[in-house]
Amino acid sequence: MTVSDKSPKSIGNEEAKTFIISGNYAAAYAAKMARIEVVAAYPITPSTDCVEKVSEFVEDGVMGAELIKVESEHSVAGALIGASSTGARTFSSTSAHGLLYMAELVWWAALARLPVVMSIVNRELAPAWSIWAQTQDSMSLRDSGIIQYYCKNAQEVFDTLLMAYKVSEHEHVYMPSLVCQDAYILSHTNAQVDMPAQKDVDDFIGTYNPKHFILDPKNPVTHSNLSYPQHYRQKRFNIMESTHRAKQIIKDVCADYKKRFGRFHGDLVDTYGIDKKTKHIIVSHSSIAEEIELSVDMLKKKGYDAGLIRIRVLRPFPDEELRELCKNIETIHFIERAPSYGYKGIIAIDTMAALFESENRPKAFHHIEGLSGMDVTAEYAADLIEKDLETLK
Amino acid sequence: MTKSNDDFKVETWNSKPTKGAAGKTGLWRTFRPIIDDDVCTRCEICALYCPEPCITLNPDDPSHEKGRMVIEYEYCKGCGICANECPKHCIEMVKETEFLVEEEEEDK
């Protein structure tokens, strides 16, 4: 914690409350209750509502964060990197081109080991201009080391943001996080969000006390000076170790959250309808996955032993968990929003690589669906799976 | 909760300001600044502009009442800013190869 030993104020959430709010507002409330110290923002559709709400909180005096208005998303990340380097807890929210404009500094935050946390509203990239959901914006940054969570509803956005601070600020991690939600489907749709009392959130999340490095005028250091190959290699392997360790830390934090607040959205993966009999697994992500839960029920009624894996954390990737869940299945069906052009869906690529190390290699079917926020209904998804399975008859 | 039950530590690049943190940068030099001590007024403009900084005034040198300007060649990269800024134009940038012959002869 920087500047003073007093946490920034957060007024209005003294008691546990239930709100009917959008995913963007859920993120803003989570930022307020996490007592973030610095927020920088350059609003972009469809994440605008989040930083608008945060600036409203700050203006109303119910949130004690320092709000920095900057001239671009690149500067947003720059401001957050500077603030986080002094030991401040930081936050912002952006989308699509905003995120890609700050891409260089997303890598910087990750490689500098700064636990910046951002709420990302996944939006399709231009051209042509589109403002609807697609996850390529954040998924294209998956190699940077940044931890990425993909949420299925507004409640999960709120809970995951609090958990993200806890994970990112863990002394073995110190990596930034993106907490992602689908444009409009979550960001602008009002839904029930239960919020715990501020005191309980404070107990859970604690304060950020960096042990690895801090910018302090009383103890000047040069950070990230020219580094020769041997040192560079050592620090990069340190990042690999930290991001691998983050898997267990995410599981622990999710379990702790469940114990304290009674809510659990899965840890690295979320599953639905998987049991010993499951022969067909659908792998999906974000809000599509919540809809596909209904498809699983439909398929089961028709006699298919179907189940769902929702990739909740894309990095670090849950490879061991996938091998365990898929060890006895016959087919695996990917329904995802984000293609890697020239290959397959981004989640399919990673999942298939994980299963390559497995004894059991199920037959795979790939579907890129829901581009530009197109509706993927439960019926439509169930139909896709049924057609996949018919080809095997 | 996972606590630090082993020696693993997150490592970052933090260096304290120290002499020659990036190695002997004098090896980068192509031109060597040579000060003509007879013309030099010891105004210290060169020391002020040297970005490294590796020009200092040695006040104890008897060659002049103010002392003598000393260049630390182990770290001078030969950028030539001192020669450019010198109001007396008494710093000459000499090709390193010329000293190579001299130094070889010294070695013999």
Judge whether A238 is closer than 8 Å to chain B, CB to CB: yes
| Nearby residues of A190 by Cβ (< 8 Å), 6 or more positions away | A20, A21, A22
Which run of H or of E encompasses A67?
A: strand A66-69
CATH number among 3.30.465.10, 3.30.360.10, 3.30.930.10, 3.40.50.920, domain A270-390: 3.40.50.920
pLDDT band at B5 (very low <50, low <70, confident <90, very high): low
Judge whether A215 is closer than 8 Å to chain B, CB to CB: no
Q: How many CB atoms lie within 10 A of CB A305?
A: 17
Quote the domain boundaries for residue B39: 25-107
Report the number of distinct structural domains present in chain B: 1
Per the listing, tokens 């940077």 go with: A144
Q: Is residue B9 part of a domain?
A: no
pLDDT digits (tens, 9 = 90+) for B16-48: 877 877 788 899 999 999 999 999 999 999 999
Q: Is residue B16 part of a domain?
A: no
Pick from B11, B15, B18 the residue to mutate for testing the A interface (most A CBs within 10 Å). Answer: B11
B51 and B79 in contact (C-beta within 8 Å)?
Answer: yes
Q: How many CB atoms lie within 10 A of CB A261?
A: 17
Answer whether residue B2 shows pLDDT above 50: no
Query: Residue ranges of the alpha helices (H) in A34-139?
Result: 48-60, 73-85, 96-101, 103-111, 136-139
What type of residue is A139?
Answer: M
pLDDT tens digit at each of 393 positions of chain A: 444 567 899 999 999 999 999 999 999 999 999 999 999 999 999 999 999 999 999 999 999 999 999 999 999 999 999 999 999 999 999 999 999 999 999 999 999 999 999 999 999 999 999 999 999 999 999 999 999 999 999 999 999 999 999 999 999 999 999 999 999 999 999 999 999 999 999 999 999 999 998 998 888 888 887 888 988 999 999 999 999 999 999 999 999 999 999 999 999 999 999 999 999 999 999 999 999 999 999 999 999 999 999 999 999 999 999 999 999 999 999 999 999 999 999 999 999 999 999 999 999 999 999 999 999 999 999 999 999 999 998
C-beta atoms of B11 and A225 within 8 A: no
**What pLDDT was estimated at residue A220?**
85
What single DSSP character describes residue A335?
A: E
pLDDT band at B108 (very low <50, low <70, confident <90, very high): low
Q: How many CB atoms lie within 10 A of CB A245?
A: 18
Encoded tokens for A236: 């990069």
Nearest CB to A213: which of B14, B17, B21? B14
CA distances from B41 to A45, A214, B32, B46, B62 (A): 64, 45, 20, 11, 14
Q: Is residue B51 part of a domain?
A: yes
Q: Is residue B4 part of a domain?
A: no
CA distances from A32 to A62, A158, A207 (A): 8, 11, 14
Per-residue burial over B43-68, b if 16 or more Cβ lie within 10 Å, else e, is eebbbeebeeebbbbeeeeeeeeeeb
Per the listing, tokens 């299925």 go with: A152
How large is the ipTM?
0.86
B45 and B86 in contact (C-beta within 8 Å)?
Answer: yes
| Nearby residues of A56 by Cβ (< 8 Å), 6 or more positions away | none
A256 and B1 in contact (C-beta within 8 Å)?
Answer: yes
C-beta atoms of A223 and B1 within 8 A: no
Average pLDDT, rounded, for chain B: 89
C-beta atoms of B2 and A112 within 8 A: no
Encoded tokens for A279: 């022969």
Half-sphere exposure of A142 (CA within 13 A, CB side): 19
**What pLDDT was estimated at residue B45?**
97
Q: Which residue of B has its CA nearest to A259?
A: B1
Interchain CB contacts (distance < 8 Å): A and B: 58
C-beta atoms of A224 and B13 within 8 A: yes
**What pLDDT was estimated at residue A227?**
83
Partners of A248 on chain B (C-beta within 8 Å) are: 2
Sign of CA dihedral A270, A273, A278, A282: negative
Judge whether A225 is closer than 8 Å to chain B, CB to CB: yes
Partners of A113 on chain B (C-beta within 8 Å) are: 10, 12
Question: What would the DSSP string read from start to end of B9-73?
Answer: -----EE---TTTT--GGGG-SEEEEE-TTT-----HHHHH-SS--EEEETT-TTSTT-EEEE-T
Nearest CB to A241: which of B4, B8, B14? B8
C-beta atoms of B8 and A252 within 8 A: no
> Mind telling me how many Å the CA of A58 is from chain B's nearest CA?
33
Judge whether A310 is closer than 8 Å to chain B, CB to CB: no
Relative to beta strand A117-122, strand A90-95 is parallel
Residue B84: give its domain's CATH number: 3.30.70.20
CA B54 – CA B62 distance, rounded (Å): 21
Query: In chain A, which residues fall in CATH 3.40.50.920?
Result: 270-390
What type of residue is A58?
Answer: V
Q: Is residue B17 part of a domain?
A: no
Which run of H or of E encompasses A179?
A: strand A177-182
CA A92 – CA A120 distance, rounded (Å): 9
To which CATH superfamily is domain A17-261 assigned? Thiamin diphosphate (ThDP)-binding fold, Pyr/PP domains (3.40.50.970)
Query: In chain A, which residues fall in CATH 3.40.50.970?
Result: 17-261
C-beta atoms of B16 and A222 within 8 A: yes
